[in-house]
Amino acid sequence: MLVATDSLTLHVPGIEAYVTGRHVVTGDGRLRVDLPAGCHLTHHLAHQRETVAMVEVTDLAPTPVRNRVRGRGTLTGWLASGTVATENDQELVALLDLATAELTVEGRTTSVDPDAFAAARPDPLAAAEADLLCHLDHHHPQTVERLCRLIPTRHLQDVRQVRPVRLDRHGVVLRLETAGGDRDVRLSFGAPLRHPDQLGAQIEALLRQTHGCRTRRVR
């Protein structure tokens, strides 16, 4: 989620900062935010050096569907200032040492241990997921139509529109939109992807299947 999102909200006492395209998770599991010169948070950390902080992340479907929120993440911990070397100088950064993490997906909230967070690695499709989904949605409607043939007929009754809403190493998720509500259908790959280059072959293998999906109702 942190890799895929372009923006997050950083809360420290008295300050709320919206950070766009300036965050990264370091190899040791800390969240690093590059601080723009002159912002309130930069001045605050210059004096405080360390403060409690909370980070909120919202995972949005990149395709134009109803109920675009796919999940939310909340991180809390201690935010401290530091520096990183650049080509010409050094840049001030904020580093979050994680204390707690919670992930809410499909209405269920799960606590994530800081050590497990540090050991986790991004999904191999995370960075490219938005572009891949939009490309599939805009330029390959025939592929989406073929994928729909893997869905049991009973789930397609009264469906007005089908759009891809998630793509990860385990498979592709389609949103079935109806007047009374939406349903998400996951079509699982035969084996988890290890590299984005495997996506084309996995989609083709999926299209050769004749049955099998998981569904859930979306309000």
| pLDDT the model gives residue 209 | 81
pTM: 0.85
Strands of 61-213 (E only): list them.
69-85, 90-105, 108-111, 159-168, 171-178, 181-188
Q: Is the pLDDT of residue 208 over 80?
A: yes
pLDDT band at 218 (very low <50, low <70, confident <90, very high): low
Domains parsed from the chain with CATH numbers: 7-119 (2.30.110.10), 129-218 (3.20.180.10)
| pLDDT the model gives residue 44 | 83
Per-residue pLDDT tens for 4-40? 888 899 999 999 989 888 898 888 888 999 887 778 8
Poorest-pLDDT segment among 38-42, 142-146, 155-159: 38-42
Per-residue CA distances from 92 to 41, 47, 83, 152, 153 (Å): 11, 13, 5, 54, 56
More confident residue, 201 or 44: 201
- Which residue bears the tokens 């401290």? 80
Mean pLDDT of 96-111: 94
| pLDDT the model gives residue 219 | 47
More confident residue, 106 or 70: 70
Give me the helix-helix angle, 141-148 and 199-207, nearest 10°: 50
Q: Is the pLDDT of residue 157 over 80?
A: yes
More confident residue, 165 or 215: 165
| pLDDT the model gives residue 41 | 83
Number of helical H runs and strand E runs in the chain = 5, 12
How far apart, in whole angstroms, are the C-alpha atoms of residue 165 and residue 130? 9
Per-residue pLDDT tens for 55-103? 999 999 999 999 999 999 999 999 998 877 666 667 788 999 999 999 9
The closest of 62, 58, 82, 83 to 72, measured between CA atoms, is: 58
Q: Is the pLDDT of residue 215 over 60?
A: no
Q: Report the SS3 class of residue 33.
A: strand
More confident residue, 129 or 214: 129
Q: Is the pLDDT of residue 199 over 70?
A: yes
